[in-house]
Structure 1
Amino acid sequence: MVNVTNEDTSNSIIFSDDAGVVTTYSPGDIAWILAATALVWLMIPGLGLFYSGLLRRKNALSMIYLSMMTLATVAFQWFFWGYSLAFSETGSKFIGNLKYFGLKGVDGDPSIGSPRIPALVFCVYQLMFASITPMIALGAVAERGRLGPLMVFVFIWSTLVYDPIACWTWNSNGWSFSLGGLDFAGGSPVHISSGTAALAISIYLGKRTGYGTERLAYKPNNTSYVILGTAFLWFGWFGFNGGSALAANLRAAMACFVTNLAASVGGITWMLWDYRIERKWSAVGFCSGAIAGLVAITPGSGFVGAPAAVLFGAVAGTVCNWATQLKFVFGYDDTLDVFASHAIGGIAGNILTGLFAQSSVAGFDGITEIPGGWLDHHYVQLGYQIADSVAAVGYSFVMTTIILWLMHLIPFLRIRSSNEEAEIVGLDEYDMGEFAYDYVGVDQELGHEIEFRPGMGDQGKTVAGVTSGGREVGHRHHGHGHGLQNGGGHGDGSTESGIEKTVG
């Protein structure tokens, strides 16, 4: 039985363990971490919306689905053994053991992350980090990966890739933690691991059909989703970074401030780089830069001050923007530029943390003592940050590749679809039979014919029974001058258009 009481005057929570050791918790600290947990949870469907908006309409729903599927899969994995593998106190330098298998014994004892919050609160907070990380990587399967096997992939990847990297970065027994590596909120466990995994997935899957041709020269299907997803991510990142202080204190406030500042500068920087070429003010460019700034500031958010955050955002908005060209140099098809934004952004953040970490900022919580980075004349810190980054890149890439090819040996677990029809009609119809939008257009993809059905003006053209993926193809509205009309009008007031509207 958990022995918990409330102190009458201060309302503090008093916990006594089996040995009689008493720990006092502040309800304010617990409330802030639980609120931060909810903020980070919101980032997961936010990421799904962000990815969805960037894709073609026929693949828009698959990314939103994957965000919720990943959350559910990791929730079970974390309960089953994920938390224990990452945060058991009796584990090795590389991975924990099964001390907390099935969350046995995870209750009111002080957490391994901070004595200011109970283990159960720390556990549910860290679950959100474990959930969003594989979802970041799954951006690489967009438009060509089979959805069914991905639940298995997420479970295995979380166990063999995320949990070990989280252990060596944040567990007090971990080799990087013991060495002196600084990673406040997930530069290596979250962003470098997922971004590098996305690279491995992209190489394994190969190029989409029509890669390098006009067929894939499309614009995002829903820029509003891109902005909305960015807003959810940006909003949730206050819990992602601010909550990593693991208490409601001045360090959490500073983490929130530098997070917002780096995102703002990153968004403006990326947008200006794009304006240089297109002479257009791109909302997608701004959102991409904001995400890059958020990624870069993540490892340093509890260690650097506001002036450094400006540099984090400017550097991230620049290097991640230019890193999107790497796929053309090396010939891999990273549909959503996950490697450029997350792996490169995470590496940049780790390196900048080694340069600009300050012991004074880390001490804002009244507990943490670090020697700082180059700004505090602790020059070896940069070496620690580079070592941690290189280890995360190498381990994630190799292990992800092994997982993918082992699954490839089992036909029903292969992630790459060999059926071109799936790409033509889109994953939403082929794998789900559902759509992001109830009424969709029937714009023809370059290089492919669309099956013409009755009402479309031509009944004889088809390509192996494959359609454009529209649910309501050939929708015709007969109105009398008062309906929602597009395209050329007919003498009787009817319209026939490739763009379909609901009629209220």
Structure 2
Amino acid sequence: MTTVLHTLAARALNITYDASGDINWVDPSDGTLFVYNMGDIAWTLASMALVWIMIPGVGFFYSGLLRRKNALSMIYLSMMTVAVVSFQWFFWGFSLAFSETGSRFIGDLKYFALSGVLEHPSIGSTRIPSIVFCIYQLMFAAITPILAIGAVAERGRLWPLIFFVFAWSTLVYDPIACWTWNSNGWSFVLGGLDFAGGSPVHISSGSAALAISVYLGKRTGWGSARLAYKPHNTSYVILGTVFLWFGWFGFNGGSALSANLRAANACIITNLAASVGGLVWMFWDWRLERKWSAVGFCSGAVAGLVAITPASGFVGVPASVLFGFMAGTCCNFATQLKFVFGYDDTLDIFASHAIGGVVGNLLTGLFAQSKVAFYDGVTVIPGGWLDHHYIQLAYQLADSVASMSYSFVMTTIILWIMHFIPTLRLRASPEAELLGIDDAEMGEWAYDYVGLEQEIGVGSLTDGEDGGPGVGGGREGDHTHVHHHEKTVGEGDSA
């Protein structure tokens, strides 16, 4: 009886299994046979899990860079984002990004509530079914908003962020993902190259973080010459970097959607760019204080990973060294932009992700090679400057400018709409900011002694606002990816 039921289920889905174990699916509309490779399915699903672990990795990375009274909220936000985007992706996010019947800018509701998303071939690869591609792409959609909302650190209310993540994913991430990766998207049709998310993930989140920082304004005490900023828990920063670096093999390598040479090449250049980026950033920091910064190394590694992301399926191994060097250099110096323009980007998200994404996109236009893309035996591109396809740089620039501008403007619009709905205003009260977001918004803390301080009446005043020593030295943690540059905020230390 069980065998009969299994046979009926297989017939209902029009699938059979060949001798190698691969799935054969026949399109009932025209009789076309599609063969789903079990190895590719396994690699894509494993990569999905790798990308998932990056999301709490962002939470720990950000948490370690903040003051301890705000440490828990950022880890919580990483998990909240997974939940909200998972529902949004099921509801209409996947359809808006990857339906084949939409416009050049955004899809339609063909796959609303994942209707018809199961055994049909995916838009990303005909070697895996749509449901596999859907769950893999969900992880990209989930990690992007948490990168952006790190900009609310230490001064943002938590409830409005649930609404913001849903709205931002719908109005910002899905359109950019559509025009970048959907075969109908304007950038894809134009010839833009973005293997794993330079524009949809990093430029969009970094630009959104800048918009959030400008909208929220500066934290209380920002710019005071008596406050020195350092991360409260460097071990969290390192732990977050470990999760990110580890997961990035699925982020870039998995974007091949197949266990092939292109995926292997993406993995090795991902590791190399991160290594070079970490070392370069650390050396730039060393010149200021003659000390070796773990935070600087981790920040540079993340910058290298960001920059190599759009290029990882298009460039050779030697080029990844330059990607790491340029990311470690440009993103390091870009952390000083907040002092030049006077915005309070607590975690330097714009410098690391938006600038890093632009660096990666432009270098892809220079170093993309058709032979590397063809490592999968399928993809054919004209290449970049190395292959004498000089217009490619213009395509990459157009995509970068469009993504940065659209994300910044649309994020600002969302924030100001929320501003005029009192329950959705994002800025926390001065009292909540002084007390700490963990206590004010959650009633929980990352560390027991933070609650003990509140009980005995010293509370956040030992966290640096009054210049007192506090627990652990009493130095504030403005973040910083490049904390050596911020010995004294407001003095404008040159990079």
Q: TM-score scaled by structure 2? A: 0.90
Matches within 5 A, 1:96-175: 96-175=107-186
Residue 498 to residue 182, structure 1, CA distance change in 2 (3 Å)? closer
Distance 2:226 2:197 in 1: 37
User: What pairs up with 1:119-268 in 2 under 5 angstroms?
Assistant: 119-214=130-225, 216-268=227-279
Kindly indicate whether the alpha-carbon contact (under 8 Å) linking 2:16 and 2:25 is maintained by their aligned counterparts in 1.
yes
CA distance in 1, matches of 2:379, 2:328: 30
> Equivalences for 1:424-503 in 2 at 5 Å?
424-440=434-450, 453=457, 467-468=459-460
Q: In the TM superposition, what is the alpha-carbon distance from 1:378 to its structure 2 partner?
A: 0.3
Q: Structure 1 residues 129, 215: closer, same or farther in 2, change over 3 A?
A: farther
Q: Deviation per CA, 1:136-168: give whole Å up to 9, x if none.
A: 001100000001100000000000000000000
| Cα separation, 2, equivalents of 1:109 and 1:469 | 59
- Counterpart of 2:291, as a letter, is K
- SS class of match (2:323): helix
Letter aligned with residue 354 of structure 2: A
Determine if contact 2:91/2:113 at 8 Å carries over to the other structure.
yes
Distance 1:378 1:268, change over 3 A: same
Of 92, 95, 103, 2:106 maps to: 95
Is the contact between residue 58 and residue 469 of structure 1 (CA under 8 Å) also seen in structure 2?
A: no
Could you tell me the percent identity over the aligned residues? 75
Q: Read off the aligned partner of 2:373 and give its amino acid letter.
A: A
One-letter code of the match for 1:468? S
**Superposed displacement of residue 94, structure 1:** 0.3
Decide whether the 8 Å contact of 1:441 with 1:499 is kept in 2: no
- Aligned: 1:391 with 2:383: no
- Counterpart of 1:340 in structure 2 is 351
Match of 1:358 among 333, 354, 369: 369
- SS class of match (2:389): coil
- Once the two structures are superposed, the pairs formed by residues 298-317 of structure 1 within 5 Å of their partners are 298-317=309-328
**Contact 1:441 1:498 (C-alpha < 8 Å) held by counterparts:** no
Alignment CA distance shift 1:45-1:248 (3 Å): same
Change over 3 Å in CA distance of 1:215–1:431 after alignment to 2:
farther
1:313 maps to a residue whose letter is G
The residue aligned with 1:476 is none
Q: Report if the CA contact (8 A) 1:442-1:498 is conserved.
A: no
Q: What does residue 12 of structure 1 align with?
A: 22
> CA 1:310–1:400 in 2, change beyond 3 Å: closer, same or farther?
same
Please state how far the C-alpha of 1:35 moved relative to its aligned partner: 0.1
Which has the higher mean CA deviation after the structures are superposed, 20-29 or 432-441?
432-441
Separation in structure 1 between the aligned mates of residue 258 and residue 424 of structure 2, nearest angstrom: 42
Whole-angstrom distance in 1 between the partners of 2:187 and 2:138: 21
Residue 438 of structure 1 and its aligned partner are, at CA, apart by: 2.2
Query: 1:266 Cα shift?
Result: 0.1
| TM-score normalised by the chain length of structure 1 | 0.88
Task: Identify which of 64, 67, 82 aligns with 1:56.
Answer: 67
Match of 1:67 in 2: 78
Question: Aligned partners of 1:442, 1:25: CA distance in 2, in Å?
Answer: 57
SS of the residue 2:35 aligns to: strand
| Paired residues for 1:404-443 under 5 Å | 404-417=415-428, 419-440=429-450
Which deviations, in whole Å up to 9, do the C-alpha atoms of 1:294-321 show, x marking residues without a partner?
0000000000011100000000000000
How many angstroms does 1:16 deviate by? 2.1
Superposed CA RMSD: 1.9
Q: Distance between the aligned counterparts of 1:215 and 1:106, measured in 2? A: 57
Deviations 1:448-472 (A, max 9, x none): xx8855xx8xxxxxxxxxx3289xx
Three-state SS of the structure 2 residue aligned to 1:439 is: helix
Q: Does 1:30 align with 2:22?
A: no
Question: 2:487 maps to which residue?
Answer: none
Structure 1, unaligned runs of 5 or more: 444-449, 457-466, 471-486, 488-496
- Secondary structure class of the residue paired with 2:460: coil
* 1:45 to 2:56 alignment: yes
Deviation (angstroms), 1:498: 5.2
CA contact (8 A) 1:146 1:416 kept: yes
Deviation at 1:108, TM superposition (A): 1.1
Summarize deviations over 1:362-403 as a string: whole Å, max 9, x none.
Answer: 000000000000000000000000000000011000000000
1:75-114 Cα deviation digits (max 9, x unpaired):
0000000000000000100000000000000011111111
Report deviation, 1:199.
Answer: 0.2
Aligned to 2:479: none
Residue 6 (structure 1) shift: 1.5
Unmatched tracts of structure 2, length 5 or more = 1-11, 463-468, 474-495
The answer to whether the aligner puts 1:271 opposite 2:299 as a matched pair is no
Letter of the structure 2 residue corresponding to residue 28 of structure 1: G
Q: Which has the larger radius of gyration?
A: 1
Q: Is the 8 A contact 1:442 1:468 kept in 2?
A: no
Letter in 1 for 2:24: I
Instruction: Report the counterpart of residue 463 of structure 1 in structure 2.
Output: none
Q: Which has the higher contact order (CA 8 A, sep 6+)?
A: 2
